A and B are shown apart, each in its own frame.
Chain A
Amino acid sequence: MESAGIATTQISLIREHTEIIKPPRALWVSFPLGRPLGNPQDPKFQRDVIKHALSLLEYSTGPVLEDYPHDAVESKSVQVQMACPVNFAAQTGELTNQDDLFLKFRNEYSSMQTWHNLACEKRNLSILGVSSLTPDEIGDLFCNFISGNIEGTSIGGKQLSDILRMASEDLKTCYFEGLSAQPGESMDGTVFTNWFWGETHAAILINEVRKTCLQYAENDMILAGKLLLIPRSQLYRFNE
C-alpha cells in the first residue's frame, strides 16, 4: 500500500507481533482478541480509538508504534449466570448415550430459542447466521452427522467441514444472542465463552461433532476436528 502511495495505519492487538513486523504506523490496544475497538455500543470510546489510530498518519517518520492509553471496560457480568432462568448444568461424564444427549440438547435449545427469537425481533436481526441454516436445521445436521446419517463430505456443492464449522459458530451465536435478550446485566465475552463450553449440552454436541470429524480420512475434516470447532483454550474440558 505504502509503495503505491497509500498511507496505512492500524490497530494492533498483539504488541509482540507488531514489534517484529514493524508496520509503518500502529496503535497497540490492550483489548482482547475479537474486540479491536474495545467497548461495544460505546461510540465515544470507539471514535477515540479510531482518532488515535488515524492521527498516526500525520507522523513524518516511521515506523510508529504507540500504546492506546485506555483499557476496555472490565466485565460486570457475573450476575448474568445467576439471572439465566434455564438450568443448563451439564456434566460431561453423565452423557454417554447419544440419544440422551440429543434429547437434552433439544430441550435446552428449545428454551434458548425463545430468547433468541425475541433478540432477533428486538434488534431486527436475521435468524440465519453465516451457515444460512436455521438453528433447528443446525441441530438436525449435527445429530445426523454424529449418528453417521450423512454420506460423503459435501452437501449441495459445499464442503461438509465448512458447513459444520459455520453451523457451530451460528449455534454459539444463537445462545449468545438468546442469553443477551434475557433480563439482567449485559453479557461479557469471556464469561459467555466459559459458560457455553463448560455448561451447555450444545457444547457437548459440538464436541461430538469434533470427535466424528477426527474419524474421517479427509484433511479438511481432520483440520476442522483438530482446530476449527472448539477454541484451544476450551479443549481441556473435553479431554477423555
Chain B
Amino acid sequence: MVRLAQYEETEREHLLKLPCPTYTSSPYVTGLKVSQARIVLISTAGLHRRSDRPFGVGETGYRLIAKDVEAQDLVMSHISTNFDRTGFHMDMNMVFPLDRLRELEEQGFIGSLSEYHYSFMGATPPDQMEQEAYQLAAILKKDHVDAVLLVPV
C-alpha cells in the first residue's frame, strides 16, 4: 500500500507542493458500453519507439505507438529520475499495457483496440499540453475512438 503519507519525506513534500489544475466545467460522456467501445491507450511515461526523437525538458507533444509495437522497440525518455523504471524494464505492460488490451479485445471485453496509441511526457505542466491534447482529440475522433484509458507513471 502506497499512500502519499508513506512516501519518503522529501518526495512527499515535493508531491504535496505540485500544483494541480482545476477546471470550471466538467464535460462527461454517457451511454458507453465497454464491450462495444473502441479504446485507445494514452500514457504520460515519455515512451516512444527507438526511431522517434526522445522527450526533452518542457516537451508538450506526443509520440505515436502502433498497436503491434515490439517491447524491445519501446524506450522511455521521461526526464524525471524520481520514479521506479525497473517494472518497465521487466515488462512493458507495467506502464503501457498493450498486450493486456489486445487480450481484452480477443476476449470481447472491449469492442476494439485502436491501431495507434500515444505517449506524452508527464513532467510538463498539464496546461502547457492543452493544445496538443485538443489536436490529438480531433485525430482520435477521426479514428472513431470512443474512449481513452489514461495511464500515468
Interface residues on A, range: 35 or more
Question: Does A20 contact B82, Cβ atoms closer than 8 Å?
Answer: no
Closest B residue to A71 by beta carbon equals B1
Whether B22 and A20, one on each chain, are in contact in the complex, defined by CB atoms closer than 8 angstroms, is yes
- Contact (A126, B32) CB under 8 Å given A33-B82, A43-B100, A46-B93: no
**How far does the alpha carbon of A146 sit from the alpha carbon of B39 in the complex, in Å?**
48
Residue positions of A touching B, CB distance < 8 A: 1-17, 20-24, 30-38, 40-41, 43, 46-47, 50-51, 53-55, 57-58, 60-63, 71, 124-126, 128-130, 132, 159, 161-162, 165-166, 168-169, 172-173, 176-177, 180, 186-190, 192-193, 220, 223, 227-233, 235-236
17 chain-A/chain-B pairs, Cβ below 8 angstroms: A1-B148, A4-B138, A5-B29, A6-B148, A8-B147, A16-B4, A33-B153, A34-B85, A43-B103, A58-B34, A61-B28, A61-B30, A63-B26, A169-B77, A187-B86, A228-B79, A233-B10
A34 to B28, CA, bound (A): 28
Q: Which of A6, A169, A176, A220 meets B57, CB within 8 Å? A: A220
Residues of A within 8 A of B99 (CB): 43
Number of interface residues of B (CB under 8 A): 74
CB neighbours (8 Å) of A32 from chain B are 2, 83-84
A7 touches B146 (CB 8 A): yes
Name the B residues within 8 Å of A53 (CB-CB).
149
| B109 neighbours in A (Cβ, 8 Å) | 51, 54
Residue of A4, A6, A130 with highest tally of chain B CB at under 10 A: A6
B64 located at the interface, meaning its Cβ lies under 8 Å from any Cβ of chain A in the complex = no
B22 touching A21, Cβ below 8 Å: yes
Give complex CA distance A10, B134 in Å: 18
- State the CA gap A126–B87 with chains docked (Å): 17
Task: Give the 10 A-B CB pairs with smallest separation, nearest first.
Answer: A34-B84, A34-B83, A10-B150, A189-B84, A33-B83, A2-B27, A40-B91, A7-B29, A189-B86, A40-B90
Other-chain residue from A159, A190, A230 in contact with B56 (beta carbon distance below 8 A): A159
Interchain CA distance A54-B33 in the complex, whole Å? 10
* Inter-chain pairs besides A1-B133, A4-B140, A37-B151, 14 sampled, C-beta below 8 Å: A20-B22, A34-B87, A34-B94, A35-B84, A37-B100, A46-B94, A54-B39, A126-B72, A130-B77, A169-B85, A176-B89, A190-B84, A193-B86, A228-B81
Closest-by-CB residue of A relative to B48 is A130
Q: Bits for B36-48, please: 1 = Cβ < 8 Å to A, else 0.
A: 0101000000000
In-complex Cβ contact of B26 among A22, A187, A189 (8 A): A22
**B116, CB-defined interface residue at 8 Å:** no
A50-B100 CB under 8 A given contacts A10-B152, A57-B34: yes
A31 and chain B: residue at smallest CB distance: B2
Q: Which residues of A contact B146 (CB under 8 A)?
A: 6-7
Contacts of B129 in A (CB 8 A): none
Evaluate contact between B89 and A1: CB separation under 8 angstroms: no
Which residues of the partner chain A approach B56 to less than 8 Å between Cβ atoms?
159, 162
Taking the nearest CB of chain B, how far is it from the CB of A92, in angstroms? 19
B8 at the interface (CB under 8 A from A): yes
Per the bound structure, the CA–CA distance linking A32 and B1 in Å amounts to: 8
B57 CB to nearest chain A CB (Å): 7
Which A residues are CB-close (under 8 A) to B50? 126, 128, 130, 132
CB of A17 within 8 A of CB of B79, answer no
